[in-house]
Structure 1
Amino acid sequence: MALTLPARPDPLADRIHAGGLLHELAHGLRGPFHYLLPERFDANLAAFRAALAGAGVEGRVHYAKKANKASVFMERCAAAGAGADVASLGELRDALGHGVRGDDLVVTGPAKNEQLLRVAARQGALIAVDAPDELERLLVLDAGRPVRVLLRRHPPAQPRSRFGLDDAQLQEALRRCAGAGDAVRMEGFSFHLSGYAVQPRADLAGELVELCLRARALGLPADRISIGGGFPVDYVAADAWDAFLTEQGPGHYHGEKAFAADDFYPYHSPVAGADALRAILAARPGGTGPSLAERLRQAGVTLLLEPGRALLDRAGSSVFPVQGVKDRAGYGIVTVDGTSLSLSEQWFNSEYLPDPVLLRDRGDRTGPADRTDRTGPAGQPYRACVGGASCLDSDLLTWRKIAFPARPRVGDLLVYPNTAGYQMDSNESPFHELPLPPKVVIDHHGGRPRWHLDR
């Protein structure tokens, strides 16, 4: 029996899919591509800002650039006066080049190299210090201005985390900052926390507020904290997700491949995006006392956020032309133009689970003739996994046997929905000298979609 997991309804995407635009783009671009919807990015950014304002909290949103390399999202950040979270010299240069101000950048990541630290400091970016030696390098850096830093706290609840300063290192870092004069400006604290649970983020954020108060007693400004990202996206409905986790097993996948439930990203979240931020702000750190929002207000602490996936929710999808179909006992194998390197969940030995959408080639093969492409009685689904165009046996975009409404044909398109967050380009590679799928920006003018290639 087929195991389905449809993405949540998206009327805007449905309108794009219903027209002929994607087939025209596939024909003109001669291969797979990603399409981007920057208006969705704008709406998600506005929702996060509204959550901060609704809680009466002073805050700043920094888009985590690593979630998608497209230039258009940097342009939208600059236009909206938002910041960016960058972790390499290339990301920093790209953000500046698209108009994001240096003062609006937060530089994260472990063991930053000398050139990144130097350029970030001279541009006035806020640098999250992850290790004692990194702070020492900044203390002697001639940046022509005080170097703005956050001290990253090692999360006590996640002792295996490789990020951040432990208690002893944190105390020594505070002492060094307090004695550094104008060499640095220690503006507060940050953390990197794995997972998506609300309460642990609120608990650690509450601890950072207290650290700010202690740092101020040493004469340091300490007026902001960063809680990073980790705001989940709700890709699928709760009942569909629960049924999938209950029923899925090796028989649903090509080659009897086995996945454990915790191998998958949590594709359903009851509280997601800006609502997750609202829940964190309403939570009581440690389970008692004032809410996090109230503690931030009382202490005069600004909250910094670094969402990536959540700002890209429904802001783009990936399109792959069908190159061939072969039948196996009880199911088929669809091969597309493109590879699994363009769906980065495979990087984690996992699977991108929302069902791909089949868009038929509308040439001269429509209507009743479609019935000849079915393996069973008319109206029955055609179950198939989806393989890439490489010579690797493991190159599958989807190991699961998807229940397509008809047997796909050469010229049809498979659209993987909502892939803008981390899926499109985290580990793309021109393997076999196949070109990387281009990104197409789609906007709407007078109700009519228009497009251009992302620069």
Structure 2
Amino acid sequence: MVRDVPRLPASWDPMLRDFVDRHAAMIRELANGFDAPLHLLFPECFASNVAAFRRTLAEHRIAGRIYYAKKANKARCFVRAAADAGIGADVASIGEFGEALVAGIRGADIGVSGPAKASDLLRLAVHHDALVAIDSVDELKRLVAIGQQSGRVARVLLRMAPATQRSSRFGFDPSSLHAALGLCASNRSALSLEGFSFHLSGYDAQARCDQTGIAVRACSAARAFDLAPRTIDIGGGFAMSYAGADDWTAFQAAHRPDDYHGNKTFDGFYPYHAACGGARMLEAIVAGVPEGDSKPLAETVREHGLQLMLEPGRALLDQAGFTVFAVQGVKDLDGYGIVTVNGTSFSVSEQWFASEFLPDPELLPTERERGEPLATHVPYRACVGGASCLDSDMVTWRKVAFPRRPEIGDLLLYPNTAGYQMDSNESPFHELPLPPKLVVTLDGTRPHWRVDRLSTLSGA
């Protein structure tokens, strides 16, 4: 009996699906003209995702602020879209801070996160009135000194260690948090405690609801120090779906090591379907009842006069881009092939997590093939290798079921790669060009594109 080939077809935004189906010739022309892998970006999808989070906050009558976690994608168009939408940016370096300012985000709308931040970054944050999430007593003391030297008051969140993730290296445990509150109380001329923050690994909405309940109690406890924090930053980690529920369930049940080149195995995968992702996950968090409480979180937040701050990255980039590789060779093996493309796995960064980006890449039909019945094609299974000399440089280890044998010059489309995949791990290894990012607008009768220009701060 022949086993069915595991597949994981990607979910596509109808607008992007229409773009690919109707404008394949434009995609081929761009791939040929730039002679490199391409990242195509769609800021309209980013704006739509922002609007969904805002609706959820409004429906629950919660005062809230959205900060785009810039680390999720280096493209300037998205931080500019954040500025246009009136949301903030979460940054963790001087470079990201500068990019946010250049894109039009005010310093007061920038949140600075990360452990043991460089003093230069802390000074920049203080001078621009940014909100700084502090991770340790040592860092808080450095910020006090900077505030005293500058004559400015630093705006501060105290990052709490996750109550259920004891191995995390981030945040204040209860005893050090008490010491930090004392420092805030005794240095009011240099510090203004605005609230508490946390970030949880994983995608459990109830865990975030529970941790927010702990943070609400911390706001109340701070009153013993004559402090009045009113902001709780619940961080990011909002899941998103790359594929449908049935397809993801079927894939997990069907795939096995011999579906991967070299019988490659992985410790785990991103959950490529989320029944409760994006703004729906925020809905589950605020509608949930924190452990030890008796009423929904949204009601508690309102009663205490608090506001929520959130830092989505991947979830704001859902459907906001895809990646295009050109085929530059095919090697036939026993029962499958290896397709080599004109880029490397550094441009699909799930490999950074020792994992695999699982949604099926698509073979873009040629003009000759458009409208042909599928029966005219002979299916072909192949993994996808990068153009480097590294044996481990596999863009896709899985033997994907393509509708036919790819040929030199064909294009492979990797769907929904804007969130963390495109550039987290990019490298000009072998002096290969970094894939250019092209911003596509779909607000007219014909799509328009432009190169995403970074500011001079990035040396571009």
TM > 0.5 between the two? yes
| Alpha-carbon spacing, 1:368–1:166, altered in 2? closer, same or farther (3 Å) | closer
Matches within 5 A, 1:309-388: 309-362=314-367, 366=369, 378-388=376-386
User: Structure 1 residue 130 and structure 2 residue 135: aligned?
Assistant: yes
| Match 2:90 to one of 85, 88, 97 | 85
- Distance in 2 between the 1:308 and 1:181 partners? 33
Structure 2, unmatched stretches of 5+, are: 454-460
Residues 337 and 382 in structure 2, CA contact (< 8 A), matched pair in contact too: yes
- Distance in 1 between the 2:251 and 2:257 partners? 13
Residues 322 and 416 in structure 2, CA contact (< 8 A), matched pair in contact too: yes
- Distance in 1 between the 2:259 and 2:104 partners? 47
Superposed displacement of residue 297, structure 1: 0.2
Q: Equivalent residue for 1:192?
A: 199
String of CA shifts for 1:42-79, please: whole Å, max 9, x gaps. 00001101110001100000000000000001111111
Q: Equivalent residue for 2:408?
A: 410
- Distance in 2 between the 1:442 and 1:242 partners? 33
Superposed displacement of residue 287, structure 1: 5.9
User: Structure 1 residue 152 and structure 2 residue 150: aligned?
Assistant: no
User: Structure 1 residue 113 and structure 2 residue 111: aligned?
Assistant: no
Q: Equivalent residue for 1:43?
A: 48
Q: Equivalent residue for 1:441?
A: 439
Residues 331 and 384 in structure 1, CA contact (< 8 A), matched pair in contact too: yes
- Distance in 2 between the 1:406 and 1:13 partners? 23
String of CA shifts for 1:225-266, please: whole Å, max 9, x gaps. 100001000111111111111121111001111124xx1000
Q: Equivalent residue for 1:99?
A: 104
- Distance in 2 between the 1:301 and 1:154 partners? 20
User: Structure 1 residue 167 and structure 2 residue 165: aligned?
Assistant: no
- Distance in 2 between the 1:445 and 1:208 partners? 43
Q: Equivalent residue for 2:458?
A: none
User: Structure 1 residue 7 and structure 2 residue 5: aligned?
Assistant: no
- Distance in 2 between the 1:213 and 1:124 partners? 25
Q: Percent identity?
A: 56
Residues 151 and 190 in structure 2, CA contact (< 8 A), matched pair in contact too: no
SS at 1:182's partner residue?
coil
Superposed displacement of residue 410, structure 1: 1.1
Cα RMSD, aligned residues only: 1.5
- Distance in 2 between the 1:369 and 1:10 partners? 24
Moved more, 36-45 or 249-258: 249-258
TM-score under structure 1 length normalisation: 0.96
Structure 1, unmatched stretches of 5+, are: 372-376
- Distance in 2 between the 1:226 and 1:367 partners? 49
User: Structure 1 residue 427 and structure 2 residue 425: aligned?
Assistant: yes
SS at 2:18's partner residue?
helix
| Match 1:453 to one of 417, 428, 451 | 451
| Alpha-carbon spacing, 1:50–1:237, altered in 2? closer, same or farther (3 Å) | same
- Distance in 2 between the 1:392 and 1:267 partners? 27
Residues 12 and 319 in structure 2, CA contact (< 8 A), matched pair in contact too: no
| Match 1:303 to one of 302, 308, 311 | 308
String of CA shifts for 1:155-181, please: whole Å, max 9, x gaps. 121000000011110000001111112
- Distance in 2 between the 1:251 and 1:429 partners? 30
| Match 2:208 to one of 201, 213, 228 | 201
SS at 2:442's partner residue?
strand
Residues 250 and 259 in structure 1, CA contact (< 8 A), matched pair in contact too: no
| Match 1:224 to one of 231, 235, 238 | 231
Q: Equivalent residue for 2:299?
A: 294
